[in-house]
Amino acid sequence: MKSTSLLQQAKQYIVDELERFYKERIQSSDDVISQKALEKINGDDVIITFGHSSVILKVLTEAAKKHPKLSVIIVDSRPKFEGREMLRKLMRSCPSLSCSYVFINSISYVMPLATKVLVGAYAVLANGHVMSRIVCCETYKFASRMQTDSYVSNELGDSKQLMNINNRAGPLSDIASRPNLHVLNICYDVTPPDYVTGLITETAVIPCTSAPVVIRVKQQYNIVNMKPYA
């Protein structure tokens, strides 16, 4: 009976900590980031974003309510086409917002029109490199590891997504039969800190090079606030 009670306490402790983490580090962080990002957006801005990001969606939704003349260009790519979902959600919440939708191969044509680029990050590494789909970022995404390219460590998607188009055979479908050729569907790109103006986080707008400081402070905070469950 005692072991069962301890197990229940452990489970409840994990659930409580997950709920606390979500409220403090994700939900509250997105609210703060949205407010900080709004301070950087002007009424006549043309903002480019890539794919889908929940925090960028929140920022653009709030910005559209504040600035009626705001314009957004959503850049998308295969195989996930996440930008389509971004476009649908923006149009649903802000019907009057001026939105354009283009594929990644048109980026050179629309980039000169942009005044700002806002993208969400998958992770910020200790050496300042930003891991993302191709920046607004919560600090819980700051990672202590280092990486300078997209090949050392990355998430791989289904290679069939690259070879098929809309679930039909595409121009690359025949290469699957070649035994010495492997198709890699790399999910994220690693951007050097020189190409990122700043990270809008719930703590402040910081340069990428401040990532090690944030990681160290987070580790100290976690140790100090660690509580036993039994």
Q: What is the pLDDT of residues 14-69, one digit of tens each?
A: 888 888 877 776 667 778 888 888 888 998 999 999 888 888 999 999 999 999 89
Residue 227 lies in a domain: yes
Cβ(45)–Cβ(71) below 8 Å: yes
Place 224 in a pLDDT band, splitting at 50, 70 and 90.
Answer: very low
Judge if 218 and 199 occupy the same domain. yes
Judge if 146 and 211 occupy the same domain. yes
79 preceded by a cis bond (ω within 30 of 0): yes
Q: Is 132 left (phi over 0), alpha (psi -120 to 50) or beta?
A: beta
User: Is the confidence at residue 229, as pLDDT, over 50?
Assistant: no
Place 134 in a pLDDT band, splitting at 50, 70 and 90.
Answer: very low
**Maximal C-alpha separation, the chain:** 68
pLDDT value at residue 222:
58
Contacts with 223 (C-beta within 8 Å, 6 or more apart), sequence order: none
* pTM given for the model: 0.66
Judge if 33 and 44 occupy the same domain. no
Domain with 50, as residue range(s), is 40-118
Cβ(222)–Cβ(6) below 8 Å: no
Give dist(CA 104, CA 75) in Å, integer: 6
Domain count, the chain: 2
What are the structure tokens assigned to 74, written together? 């959503």
Judge if 111 and 50 occupy the same domain. yes
Going by their DSSP bridges, the two strands 116-117 and 46-50 should be labelled as parallel
